[in-house]
Structure 1
Amino acid sequence: MAELNARGGGRRRRTRNEINMVPFIDVMLVLLIIFMVSAPLLPTGVVDLPTVGKARQAPEKVVEVVVEEGDRVRLRINRQDADTLSVAELPARVKGLQDEAAGGANAVPVIISARKDVRYEEVVHIMDVLQKAGVARVGLSVRTGG
């Protein structure tokens, strides 16, 4: 029996391939404690979301721009159809309607409305054209309810 051990033919100890989880758990617990202590110290971000304003009194005159097919829009003044014109003619016409108002340019709100199938880019383009022309109080129509 001594001969077997001397030649190395006896029992050999096999290595086992295992991951030692204790250091991993220690590191995770330290990180957990660090995050628990530092979380209350971080500044919280406040997001100011736009709200729907509730006016005490409805405006006397409202200009609504209804987006039509292609490069055409339809103007509605006080919920009555007025004109159909191109987007290029729109800023001058709306600016003129606002200047006619008794309260000045800020008294007449401009509302842009469109059907569901109109591309969003077209609505944003019209809003951009109006704002670049100096038209004040431009907003989007919001459908409430079903």
Structure 2
Amino acid sequence: MDHTRRLLTTGLALSGAIGFIDASFAKGKHHHHNGAQMGRDKLKSNGQHVIDKKGPHTVSVDIKDTKIAAFHVKHANKGDLPVKKYKTNKKMAQTGGMQYASFIQVQDTYLGTTYIGYSYVDDYGDEEIYWYPYDMILDGDTGAVEYVPI
């Protein structure tokens, strides 16, 4: 009886520890944003422009000659966060809501285009990725790694 109780207690403790370890190694979700739509009106003027704010994170881009020269993320308490650069041939971010094909302008359709994504990891471990067509980026895919969706 005493041996069975110890075995049961040990088994429960191990299963709880394994469940806790699995949860701690779980990766956060990827949240995709259409950066081209967010900063389109800011492309006409050079300088640094804020395009998004999410909690303590402020996302900004440096514009030089109508192209994005740099991407920055600043945390309110921690300062500048590291940014990772991705590239893919798939359109990862869509505009919000449903759009009929007849309402989409020809200039807004990018066929056969490489997309460049800039990402950072927020306080909860989720990766926020802002996607742009290749022709909107000043240095193209320099330093970009191939994006593999999870």
TM-score (norm 1): 0.27
Q: Which of the pair has more CA radius of gyration?
A: 1
Q: Which has the higher helix share?
A: 1
TM-score (norm 2): 0.27
Q: Which has the higher strand share?
A: 2
